[in-house]
Amino acid sequence: MALSRRLLPLFLRGGAPAVRALSTAVAPAAAAASEEEESITVKGVRISGRPLYMDMQATTPVDPRVLDAMLPFYLSRYGNPHSRTHLYGWESDAAVEAARARVASLVGADPREIFFTSGATECNNIAVKGVMRFYRDRRRHVITTQTEHKCVLDSCRYLQQEGFEVTYLPVRSDGLVDLAQLEDAIRPDTGLVSVMAVNNEIGVVQPLEEIGRICKEKGVPFHTDAAQALGKIPIDVNKMGIGLMSLSGHKIYGPKGVGALYLRRRPRIRVEPQMSGGGQERGIRSGTVPTPLVVGFGAACEIAAQEMDYDHRRVSALQQRLLDGIRAQVDEVVINGSMEHRYPGNLNLSFAYVEGETLLMGLKEVAVSSGSACTSASLEPSYVLRALGVEEDMAHTSIRFGIGRFTTEEEVDRAIELTVHQVKKLRDMSPLYEMAKAGIDLKSIEWSQH
């Protein structure tokens, strides 16, 4: 039996409420024992129970309805979908093709244009490297943006090592690509334009239809990484002129480890496979298709198609509640990226005079992400925020709140309470904040070097 949607957050936080003690005499001891059991110590940090989950851009919980669809293919219908001689293979193959049709339906594609992979990273590698290598004799130039996902940027750098040229377009201060700059950058030997649909860090939605129109007029394939867009904003590959598209299962309440590449049939776009093997997925992606994961991905797409409008309205209301609640109690809060062209489940905020990693450490009860990228040797600000022109000190202070299908109003209110408390606490210890409130222009100060 499927878990109801309203019960899932309870299970995600660690289970049902504790059973009431039989005697009031043992209540304090029982409460202390219960608190000890519920506390968690990870990497030397002790927290009282599982934190609120507000990192939906990193991954989403599996929808219970998706899990229900997957379980039979783990327990009883476990055949290899490529086995052609018996029932187990036939029923798995039928399930894979049904899932393929569900994924295709969500984006307005033909099921024959959907190729299952391990995830969006693999799709991006196949799309960027595969197209350029197939057309290497005539096409030697790629266009992308400075705010793409790292796997797209790294694939482009890899192509540069092979002698291809890459143009990394800047973005405006709101995170959107300048369409005139994009059009001017296209050359006769341009083989691919790759622009992310919804940015994973700041939630900005790019003008896909306009980009697709420009690419179609210039005769250049248009690839978009839609991992953060699938099931959250309407996508029509034909209306938007998309030639290749990367999709992921675990961003839409499906399982991890599965994704799909959309590859247009007419006019046909060809890619060079990046992996050798048994020729599965019509030679584009060899390897046994994982039936349970693919079935889960298909179920997630079917649910998203049915509930996208409802989810969007609900997530929008929660985003506004979160933003209003923080801004009502804290000043100097900056929204990173366009608010007009934005997926509402992604709210990236910078808090002036507060270091983002320090704030994260204080928010042990809320699972969120920082815009800063930590390395063992240094702490560098987010390259996405720097591409927007955000100053380094503000880029260091960013926190990304991710709201999703199962986020509750109570969780948002608790996140507001904890965030406001930590920001005020850190600012009380900040001499820079005190100086700014006193009217001192911090940029005019000449700091001595030691």
Catalytic residues: 374
Number of residues assigned to the chain: 450
Cα separation, 349 vs 54, whole angstroms: 13
